[in-house]
Amino acid sequence: PIHWIELGFDRLAVILNGMMADTWIRSLIVDGIIGGVGGVLVFVPNILLLFLAIAFIEDSGYMARVAFVVDRVMQYVGLHGKSFIPMLIGFGCTVPAMMAARTIDDRKNRLTTILIAPLMSCSARLPVYLLLTGAFFAPHVAGKVIFSLYLLGVLLAVIVAFILRKVVLPGDTTPFVMELPPYRMPTIRGLAIHTWERTWHYVKKAGTVILAASVIVWFLSTYPAPPDHVLTASDGAEVSAVEYTYAGRVAKTFEPLIRPLGFDYKVGIALIAGFAAKEAVVSTLGTVYKVGEPDEEIDEHDPGLRGALRADPNFSPLVAYTLMVFVLIYVPCIAVIAVVRKETNSWKWPLFLIAYTCSLAWIVSFIVYQGGRLLGF
């Protein structure tokens, strides 16, 4: 289904290119809106399946029992079983995961849970994984690559929780007391409602936050227009054109910081946009790479953004995996920062979250990329 949806958006872009005059309006619609929002909407089938699985675990009564079972393990890192429920919810969305931490009575346990929740790989990151694994990894390997990212997130959350409880928020762990609900078979209607609500929230987000981010990124990556000699250059014209824009100039400033990770300034633009929402990483790449330009032909076997990334000599499987690791770790979105501010009633912890996740993302990504190069990948 992803391939069909992606091909559909590509065909729509070609049709609009043929119907509309070559003006900024066409560029906004094709490059900004279709290239951006369309790049996010193609992953709706996968997001729907993820939310369906989470809804089944919640409605069956199994989630509470898992929390009870893992309590002994959680005690080793200074938490208890109640912290596991927000962590599991975090695979869907970090915002409700942080809100679910309200059920934890102990303040230090609750704060630690809130601070490690962003390390759970939420659904907003999944489109980035699907895009990059689809572009650079064989189908039989892609699933293992994505699973390794989820596993890495859990491992980092455990390590960070241990450090926080020992250094930043020391104290004794409170006993775990929880009422276990009975097992029950989820109803089709209940699963459908919960899955639809969460999927619709994802689609609505694509139509609001991601749309706004895509338009802003389109403007910043289109203006100011480069000199005519850049547009008429035979080699690398598009890359040079982006370099002249506002987004290119900002990303170029920070490029030395991310070069050791294997990223160029175009990836830097996407990562900056990712602070608004992680889906914006995909939409921004679609905008920056000008997916759907009028002179492009549709390749039914290699459509859209995946083909554009594969054609970029700066990208490789190692760079793609490093980028996924960075996206996994650094601060999820603005909404998460707002929730941390509300839940802690202080700006101290939101700023701490931004600082530690960005620093940790850089360190782990550096190890992955440089280690991969040493091993010959």
Residue 175 pLDDT: 66
Q: Using one digit for the tens of pLDDT, what is the confidence trace for 244-297?
A: 778 788 888 888 999 999 998 889 988 988 887 787 788 788 777 765 444 444
More reliable by pLDDT, 146 or 276: 146
Residue 298 pLDDT: 40
pLDDT bucket at 60, cuts 50 / 70 / 90 = confident
Q: Which amino acid is at 33?
A: I
Distances (CA, A) of 83 to 36, 57, 162, 329: 36, 16, 13, 19
The DSSP element (H or E) to which 113 belongs, if any, is helix 107-116
More reliable by pLDDT, 32 or 309: 309
Residue 370 pLDDT: 95
Answer whether 139's CB lies under 8 Å from 2's CB: no
Answer whether 154's CB lies under 8 Å from 109's CB: no
Residue 296 pLDDT: 45
The arithmetic mean of pLDDT across residues 316-335, rounded, is: 91
> Is residue 160 a part of any domain in this protein?
yes
> Is residue 306 a part of any domain in this protein?
yes
Residue 277 pLDDT: 76
More reliable by pLDDT, 83 or 22: 83
Q: Using one digit for the tens of pLDDT, what is the confidence trace for 127-137?
A: 899 989 988 99
Q: Rounded CA gap, 172 and 153, in Å?
A: 25
More reliable by pLDDT, 38 or 195: 195
> Is residue 149 a part of any domain in this protein?
yes
> Is residue 185 a part of any domain in this protein?
no
Residue 117 pLDDT: 92
Q: Give the residue from 221, 200, 198 showing the smallest Cα distance to 35.
A: 221
> Is residue 97 a part of any domain in this protein?
yes
More reliable by pLDDT, 156 or 301: 156
pLDDT at residue 34 tops 90: no
Residue 240 pLDDT: 53
Q: Using one digit for the tens of pLDDT, what is the confidence trace for 86-124?
A: 888 888 888 888 877 877 778 888 899 999 999 999 888
Residue 343: Cβ within 10 Å count: 17
Structural domain of 131: 2-172+200-374
> Is residue 178 a part of any domain in this protein?
no
Q: Using one digit for the tens of pLDDT, what is the confidence trace for 165-218?
A: 888 777 766 666 667 778 888 899 999 998 888 888 877 776 776 677 777 877
> Is residue 120 a part of any domain in this protein?
yes
Q: Rounded CA gap, 125 and 6, in Å?
A: 18
Residue 228 pLDDT: 61
Q: Using one digit for the tens of pLDDT, what is the confidence trace for 218-254?
A: 787 777 876 665 555 544 444 456 677 787 888 888 8
Q: Using one digit for the tens of pLDDT, what is the confidence trace for 327-370?
A: 999 988 877 888 888 888 888 999 999 999 999 999 999 999 99
Q: Rounded CA gap, 236 and 266, in Å?
A: 13
pLDDT bucket at 299, cuts 50 / 70 / 90 = very low
> Is residue 294 a part of any domain in this protein?
yes
Three-state DSSP class for residue 224:
coil
Q: Tell whether omega for the bond before 224 is within 30 degrees of 0, i.e. cis.
A: yes
- Number of compact structural domains in the chain: 1
pLDDT bucket at 2, cuts 50 / 70 / 90 = low
pLDDT at residue 300 tops 70: no
The arithmetic mean of pLDDT across residues 369-377, rounded, is: 91
**DSSP symbols for 4-49:** HHHHHHHHHHHHHHHHS-SSHHHHIIIIIIIHHHHHHHTTHHHHHH
Q: Rounded CA gap, 77 and 334, in Å?
A: 28
